[in-house]
């Protein structure tokens, strides 16, 4: 019997606003416990929330980027439950009327595009944190009131791979919009997964389990895969899946029951009487729309069409919006997109990853990269030279040409000079030469390597190849 999994995801994205959603406290991560709090986010008696308008802007941005309907009037609601990290005893969230509804994003898995529905996006406040230490539980409320967007998908996902593709796409959109840093380790991009299975052909949904707070793509993949397998095994062995919340144990790679349906909270949602409906006009939406950056999906399609790049390249150079922009700016100055994307993929990204920085943290500009690639193109340096110059330019922002002399990288394109080195190499390697002449063609590369070594990497490779070929042919025909 074959089974199909049905997966829906709930993502919580922390927003990059300077201040919290209902007060002026900072949202900075990692400060001393309870140093970023005020009577409002502490939920002291008599205080009232005041909505941060940036949060509304960010929500509309994401709504537009994910093809949602934007509700010009939406409501805040209270979600009531007790926990020490929730100072008011309720979380201000949206329930009946969220700010965005009915959107979708397009993912690509195994070469196939698939549209994944977004049920809703709503604004809410984050809770604080509990720290358990030396038998005591301590409360840190710095995070309390940090703005979140909760993005709820339709149950359109069928495999763990699709789920991860959806999350990656969503995360990339958030990064492109610049409204979330996407940091999963620090919890600024968190995911819960609703997973159920059903027999192939069945149209009704099976009973779902909710997997809570899984903090990496790899774990999400493993958690969902495990859960699907667990549910299928359960059904196959005559059991029944129960509706419950499960936690993923990353060390064991399994999910564990946390609480059942009977213990599920009744959150007693109701409209928050302290906040007016969030209302805005079409002009507000239009203004945001006008400022909206191109979303990753559109950018990728455009790059493929406009620059004629392979999908693989596009995938990589559009991962980061800054890199994609950098590529485009360079492409305007240097008319060989493939060379640029190659260089970015092999050299620039390597540098950035090693140093764990972004392109904007370096001093290289599109025009500097264009110059560097032109030097390479005009054979004034070779690839090794470019590789040596790149970090210098990134660090200093100086003209790449100025490093040629300094690093002694000028390419040798003088035929006589190269021929002299070829002759020396052939003379020093008589045995190999004889073998080559008696038919061991493979040794051609050996001679190239030896000459290159002699030139300390500076010989113009193209010229070198031609000249060796010519010299060997001469010797052979003798």
Partner 1 sequence: MELKDLSLSKISELLDKKETTSREITEVFLKKIEEMDKKTNAFITVCYERAVDMADTADKRRAKGERGRFLGVPIAVKDNICTEDIKTTCASKILHNFIPPYSATVVEKLLQKGAVILGKTNMDEFAMGSSNETSYFGPVRNPWDLERIPGGSSGGSAVSVAGLESPASLGSDTGGSIRQPASLCGVVGLKPTYGRVSRFGLIAFGSSLDQIGPLTRNVRDCALLLEEIAGYDEKDSTSLPVEVPQYSSLLTGNIKGLKLGVPKEYFIEGMEEGVTKRIKEAIEVFKSLGAEIVDISLPHTDYGIAVYYLIATAEASSNLARFDGVKYGYRAEGLKDLKEMYIKTKKEGFGEEVKRRIMLGTFSLASGYYDAYYNRASKVRTLIKRDFEKAFEKVDAIICPTSPTTAFKLGEKTGDPIKMYLSDVFTINVNLAGVPAISIPCGFDEKNLPVGIQIIGDYLKEADIMNIAHAYEKAVSGFRFSPFI
Q: Which is nearer to partner 1, 217 or 267 (CB)?
A: 267
The CA distances from residue 421 to 373, 458, 467, in Å, are: 27, 12, 11
Question: Does 200 help bind partner 1 (rule: CB under 8 A)?
Answer: no
Question: Does 268 help bind partner 1 (rule: CB under 8 A)?
Answer: yes
Q: Which is nearer to partner 1, 82 or 353 (CB)?
A: 82
Question: Does 408 help bind partner 1 (rule: CB under 8 A)?
Answer: no
Question: Does 283 help bind partner 1 (rule: CB under 8 A)?
Answer: no
Positions 63 through 82 that interact with partner 1 (CB under 8 A): 78, 80, 82
Taking the complex as a whole, the smallest distance from the CB of residue 164 to partner 1 amounts, in Å, to: 33
Q: What is the 3-state secondary structure (H, E, C) of the chain?
A: CCEEEEEEEEEEEECCCCECCCCCCECCCCCCCCCCCCCCCCCCCCCCCCCCHHHHHHHHHHHHHCCCEECCEECCEEEECCCCCCCCCEEEECCCCCCEEEEEEEEEECCEEEEEEEEEEEEEECCCEEEEECCEEEEECCCCCCEEEEEEECCCECCHHHHHHHHHHHHHHHHHHCCCCCCCCCCCEEEEEEEEEEECCCCCCCCCEEEEEECCHHHHHHHHHHHHHHHHHHHHCCCCCCCEEEEEECCCCEEEEEEECCCCCCCCCEECCCCCCEECCHHHHHHHHHHCCCCHHHHHHHHHHHHCCCHHHHHHHCCCHHHHHHHHHHHHHCCCHHHHHHHHHHHHHHHHHHHCCCHHHCCCCHHHHHHHHHHHHCCCCCHHHHHHHHHHHHHHCCCCHHHHHHCCCCCECCHHHHHHHHHHHHHHCHHHHHHHHCCCCCHHHHHHHHHHHHCCCCECHHHHHHHHHHHHHHHHHC
Size of the site for partner 1 (CB under 8 A): 30
Greatest extent of the chain over all pairs of C-alpha atoms, in Å: 102
Q: Which of 5, 9, 20, 49 binds partner 1 (CB under 8 A)?
A: 49
Q: Which of 29, 270, 284, 446 binds partner 1 (CB under 8 A)?
A: 270
Q: Which of 276, 410, 437, 476 binds partner 1 (CB under 8 A)?
A: 276
Q: Which is nearer to partner 1, 77 or 193 (CB)?
A: 77
Angle between helices 366-377 and 321-333 (to 10 degrees): 50
Question: Does 39 help bind partner 1 (rule: CB under 8 A)?
Answer: yes
Question: Does 279 help bind partner 1 (rule: CB under 8 A)?
Answer: no
Taking the complex as a whole, the smallest distance from the CB of residue 344 to partner 1 amounts, in Å, to: 48
Closest CA to 121 of 69, 79, 177: 69
Taking the complex as a whole, the smallest distance from the CB of residue 132 to partner 1 amounts, in Å, to: 11
Q: Which of 30, 45, 134, 135 binds partner 1 (CB under 8 A)?
A: 45
Listed ranges 42-50, 292-300, 313-321, 352-360: which one lies at the site for partner 1 (CB under 8 A): 42-50
Q: Which of 51, 97, 304, 345 binds partner 1 (CB under 8 A)?
A: 51
Closest CA to 372 of 320, 334, 337: 334
Q: Which of 44, 131, 357, 407 binds partner 1 (CB under 8 A)?
A: 44
Q: Specify whether the backbone of 287 is left (phi greater than 0), alpha (psi in -120 to 50) or beta.
A: alpha
Taking the complex as a whole, the smallest distance from the CB of residue 190 to partner 1 amounts, in Å, to: 23
Listed ranges 178-186, 198-206, 265-273, 348-356: which one lies at the site for partner 1 (CB under 8 A): 265-273
Mask for 120-159, x = binds partner 1 (CB under 8 A): -----------------x-x--------------------
Positions 88 through 127 that interact with partner 1 (CB under 8 A): 88-90
Taking the complex as a whole, the smallest distance from the CB of residue 244 to partner 1 amounts, in Å, to: 18
Q: Which of 1, 30, 46, 263 binds partner 1 (CB under 8 A)?
A: 46
Contact partners, residue 442, CB within 8 Å, separation at least 6 = none
Q: Which of 262, 266, 405, 474 binds partner 1 (CB under 8 A)?
A: 266
Listed ranges 212-220, 271-279, 385-393, 424-432: which one lies at the site for partner 1 (CB under 8 A): 271-279
Residue in this structure with the two tokens 């020093």, named with its chain if needed? 428
Question: Does 87 help bind partner 1 (rule: CB under 8 A)?
Answer: yes
Question: Does 273 help bind partner 1 (rule: CB under 8 A)?
Answer: yes
Listed ranges 98-106, 205-213, 270-278, 393-401: which one lies at the site for partner 1 (CB under 8 A): 270-278
Taking the complex as a whole, the smallest distance from the CB of residue 103 to partner 1 amounts, in Å, to: 27
Taking the complex as a whole, the smallest distance from the CB of residue 72 to partner 1 amounts, in Å, to: 18
Taking the complex as a whole, the smallest distance from the CB of residue 91 to partner 1 amounts, in Å, to: 11
How far apart are alpha carbons 108 and 259 in whole angstroms? 34
Q: Which of 47, 106, 109, 285 binds partner 1 (CB under 8 A)?
A: 47
Which positions touch partner 1 (CB under 8 A)? 39, 42-51, 78, 80, 82, 84, 87-90, 137, 139, 266-270, 273-276
């Amino acid at each position: 019997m074959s089974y199909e999994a049905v997966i829906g995801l709930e993502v919580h994205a922390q927003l990059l606003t300077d201040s919290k959603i209902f007060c002026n406290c900072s949202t900075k991560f990692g400060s001393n416990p309870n140093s970023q709090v005020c009577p409002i986010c502490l939920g002291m008696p008599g205080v009232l929330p005041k909505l941060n308008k940036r949060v509304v802007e960010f929500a509309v941005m994401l709504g537009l980027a994910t093809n949602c309907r934007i509700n010009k009037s939406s409501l805040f609601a209270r979600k009531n439950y007790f926990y020490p990290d929730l100072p008011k005893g309720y979380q201000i969230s949206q329930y009946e009327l969220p700010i965005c509804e009915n959107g979708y994003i397009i993912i690509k898995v195994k070469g196939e595009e698939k549209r994944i529905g977004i049920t809703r996006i709503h604004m809410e406040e984050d809770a604080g944190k509990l720290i358990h230490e030396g038998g005591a539980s301590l409360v840190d409320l710095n995070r309390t009131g940090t703005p979140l967007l909760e993005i709820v998908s339709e149950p359109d996902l069928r495999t763990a791979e699709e789920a991860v593709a959806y999350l990656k796409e969503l995360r990339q959109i958030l990064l492109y919009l610049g409204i979330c840093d996407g940091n999963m380790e620090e919890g600024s991009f968190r995911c819960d997964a609703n997973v159920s299975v059903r027999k192939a052909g069945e149209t009704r949904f099976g009973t779902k389990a909710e997997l809570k707070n899984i903090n990496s793509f790899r774990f999400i993949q493993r958690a969902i895969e495990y859960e699907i397998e667990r549910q299928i095994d359960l059904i196959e062995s005559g059991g029944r899946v129960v509706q419950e919340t499960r936690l993923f144990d990353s060390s064991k790679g399994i999910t564990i029951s946390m609480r059942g349906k009977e213990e599920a909270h009744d959150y007693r949602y109701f409209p928050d009487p302290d906040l007016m409906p969030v209302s805005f006009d079409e002009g507000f939406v239009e203004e945001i729309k006008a400022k909206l950056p191109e979303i990753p999906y559109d950018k990728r399609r455009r790059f493929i069409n406009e620059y004629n790049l392979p999908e693989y390249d596009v995938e990589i150079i559009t991962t980061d919006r800054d890199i994609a922009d950098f590529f485009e700016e360079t492409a305007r100055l240097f008319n060989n997109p493939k060379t640029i994307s190659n260089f970015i993929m092999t050299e620039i990204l390597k540098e950035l990853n090693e140093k764990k920085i972004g392109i904007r943290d370096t001093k290289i500009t599109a025009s500097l990269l264009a110059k560097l690639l032109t030097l390479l193109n005009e054979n004034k340096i070779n690839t090794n030279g470019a590789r040596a110059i790149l970090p210098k330019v990134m660090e200093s922002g100086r003209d790449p040409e100025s490093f040629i002399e300094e690093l002694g990288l000028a390419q040798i394109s003088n035929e006589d000079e190269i021929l002299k080195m070829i002759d020396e190499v052939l003379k020093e390697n008589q045995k190999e030469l004889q073998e080559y002449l008696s038919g061991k063609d493979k040794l051609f590369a050996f001679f190239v390597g030896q000459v290159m070594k002699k030139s300390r990497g500076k010989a113009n490779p193209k010229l070198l190849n031609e000249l060796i070929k010519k010299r060997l042919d001469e010797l052979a025909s003798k």
